[in-house]
């Protein structure tokens, strides 16, 4: 792509944890709105911004949010799910034109909880085909579908350590990464609590994020705490096929 990219900035006034572009309303238009979630403030909020092609981002709307925002994902063109550090997952919807305002449409309160009853932060979200998968520090994988009150399926991962990252590999398989450096693949159609496969890196570092390749769904990248990036091929889960030391910090 020729031409330089221009950078515009504007001040946000709070620490932002998550930024997502809103999928454009039709296949041919460019995305010009994005949503941000803040953390570590006394009152956190979810904000909607508009950003034209050469202008500064402009704040359109700000909604208060309970607890830190830990992750945001878009479920469909107009619905998004927001994960919070008080253990709940909320669904927001964009209204109709002209300004696509956000309204809170549903909230699963406290769906992540420690056995003692206190709330566990929900750490990551992924969505595929209308289903939302969420993992939290209570080491459980929940499958939620918007419109239903209770989670569709709860998978207890059987380990104590927090799960940190989740991604859909195929429409029925979910990959989660945990704090101890293990990646586990779960089949959500089968019952039972055992993973289909478990992959461990030698360094046992905390997997912060997991993401799949945009076009080749069986290639998965896992980001570790010490700054290394590990690439796995899901068809051959014995060894990662590439390991890159990318940064010096997570």
Partner 1 sequence: MELEETLANKFYVIKHQESKNYKGHFAQSVGVYGLAVYPAPLPSIPASDDANKAGLGVVQQLSPKSWLFNRHSRQLVNEAMNTFRNLQSIVEDATPSEGEDPLDITPALINKSREYRSMLQACVCSLNSDLDDLNPSTEQYQEMAGQCQLLYKMELLLGLMEIIFVDARPGSLILSQLVCWVRLHYPSCTENMVTIIEEPEPAEHGLYWQTVSISNLFTYWQTVSTSNLFTYWQIIYELVCQGRLSDARQLLHQHPHSHSDAFIAMEEILRKMPTYQAYSGVSEGEFLVRWQHWQGECVMRLQVGEFAAWGHLKKLAEILSGNAASILSVTTLSNDVGGRSGGSWVPHLLASLLFTQPNITLHRLHDAATRAVAECRANLSDLDNILLTAMQGDSLQVIRWCQKTLDNLWLSAHLTDLLYHAVTSQQSTYPLLTAMRESVLQDYALELADHPSLWQVGLVYLDYCGPSGLRDASPLTSMLLERVPLTSDAKAHKVISMAEQRNLDDVVRGVCRVMGRRAANEGRLAAAIWWAVRAKDAPFTSHTAHQVLHRYLSSGEFQSSALLLDHLGPAMLLSDTLTFLGKYREFHSLYLRGDHKRAADLLVTLIASKLAPQYFWPVLLLDVLPLLQQADDAPDSEEGQEVVVSAAHTYELMYCLNTVIENVKRESSCDKGSEEAQHSGLLRAFHERETELRSCLAHNLARAIVMEGSTDAAVSRSNISAA
Among 8, 21, 24, 40, binds partner 1 (CB under 8 A): 40
Among 31, 77, 103, 114, binds partner 1 (CB under 8 A): 114
Q: Is 58 in the site for partner 1 (CB under 8 A)?
A: no
Among 8, 15, 52, 213, binds partner 1 (CB under 8 A): 15
Q: Which two tokens stand for residue 36?
A: 């941000």
CB of residue 30 vs partner 1: minimum separation in angstroms? Answer: 27
Among 6, 11, 64, 147, binds partner 1 (CB under 8 A): 11
Q: Is 204 in the site for partner 1 (CB under 8 A)?
A: yes
Among 111, 139, 219, 220, binds partner 1 (CB under 8 A): 139
Q: Taking Cα atoms as reference points, which of 186, 173, 165 lies closest to residue 230?
A: 165
Q: List binders of partner 1 among 159-188 (CB under 8 A).
A: 159-162, 179-182
Q: Is 238 in the site for partner 1 (CB under 8 A)?
A: no
Which C-beta is closer to partner 1: that of 42 or that of 54? 42
Stretch that binds partner 1, among 21-29, 127-135, 152-160, 234-242 (CB under 8 A): 152-160
CA-CA-CA-CA torsion for 11, 14, 16, 19, nearest 10 degrees? -50
CB of residue 126 vs partner 1: minimum separation in angstroms? Answer: 18
Stretch that binds partner 1, among 27-35, 144-152, 194-202, 237-245 (CB under 8 A): 194-202
Which C-beta is closer to partner 1: that of 42 or that of 238? 42
Q: Is 57 in the site for partner 1 (CB under 8 A)?
A: no
Task: Identify any residues that bridge with 242 across adjacent strands, giving them in sequence order.
Answer: 231
Q: Is 200 in the site for partner 1 (CB under 8 A)?
A: yes
DSSP string, 135-159: EETTSEEEEE-TT-SS-SEEEE-SS
Q: Is 225 in the site for partner 1 (CB under 8 A)?
A: yes
Binding site for partner 1 (CB under 8 A): 11, 13-15, 40-42, 68, 70, 85, 114-116, 118, 121, 123, 137, 139, 158-162, 179-182, 198, 200, 202, 204, 206, 225, 249-250
């Amino acid at each position: 792509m020729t031409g330089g990219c221009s950078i515009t900035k504007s001040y946000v006034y709070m620490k932002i944890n998550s930024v997502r572009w809103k999928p454009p309303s039709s296949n041919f238009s460019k995305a010009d709105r994005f949503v941000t979630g803040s953390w570590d403030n006394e009152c956190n909020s979810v904000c909607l911004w508009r950003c034209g092609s050469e202008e500064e981002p402009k704040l359109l709307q700000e909604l208060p949010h309970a607890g830190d925002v830990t992750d945001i994902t878009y479920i469909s063109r107009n619905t998004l799910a927001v994960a919070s550090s008080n253990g709940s997952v909320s669904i927001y919807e964009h209204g109709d034109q002209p300004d696509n305002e956000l309204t809170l449409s549903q909230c699963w309160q406290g769906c992540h909880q420690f056995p003692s009853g206190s709330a566990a932060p929900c750490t990551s979200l992924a969505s595929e085909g209308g289903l939302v998968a969420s993992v939290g520090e209570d080491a459980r994988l929940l499958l939620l579908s918007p419109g239903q009150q209770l989670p569709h399926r709860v998978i207890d991962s059987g380990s104590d350590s927090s799960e940190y990252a989740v991604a859909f590999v195929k429409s029925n398989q979910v990959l989660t990464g945990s704090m101890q450096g293990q990646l586990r693949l779960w089949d959500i159609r089968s019952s039972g609590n055992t993973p289909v496969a478990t992959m461990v890196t030698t360094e046992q570092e905390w997997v912060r994020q997991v993401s799949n390749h945009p076009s080749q769904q069986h290639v998965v990248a896992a980001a570790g705490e010490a700054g290394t990036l590990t690439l796995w091929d899901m068809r051959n889960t014995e060894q990662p096929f590439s390991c890159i030391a990318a940064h010096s910090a997570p």
